[in-house]
Structure 1
Amino acid sequence: MMHQVSLRDDPGFRLAAIRHVGPYAGMAGAFDRIGAQAGSCGPIGPGTRFLAITHDDPRSIPAAALRTDAGCTVPAGAEAAG
């Protein structure tokens, strides 16, 4: 399956991310965790972006070993908790 890819220029942003290892279907829990963590750094609002960074080809890596980072933008100066 081929997906459309587009490139664009975007201003820099700060990203908080959590690594998820396993099937893509399990990503919802990673987004819940990163949203809760990022929410402690400031309000999540219309300008907040959520994104996933996939590292592996699911055609050649077993689903249990797929690596994905779930992330969202956070305000400048935000500090990681814990």
Structure 2
Amino acid sequence: MTHDYLISLIRTAVPAAVGALLAWLAAEAGIVLDADSGTALTAGVVALAMAGYYALVRVAEARWPRLGVLLGAPAAPHYEAPAARQQ
């Protein structure tokens, strides 16, 4: 595994954790649904929270690069194009 690969995994896992944390905080705040709709809505809220958090941090990171640490690693991974295959 390369260093950039590990950074990409970290920068994916941190927004997932933040989304789950926000959903948990909503439940702790007393937002309770019936069991049938609760599971689907929770999954949707977690996904929206993840996407929103990631987008917000990426926009902030473009202006203030050090804020990339809010995604778990201070810099985005750098990917190189694969070498051309010889036949």
Instruction: Give yes or no for TM over 0.5.
Output: no
Higher strand fraction: Structure 1 or Structure 2? Answer: 1
Q: TM-score, normalised by structure 2?
A: 0.30
Which of the two has higher C-alpha Rg? Answer: 2
TM-score (norm 1): 0.32
User: Comparing both structures, which one devotes a greater share of its residues to helix?
Assistant: 2
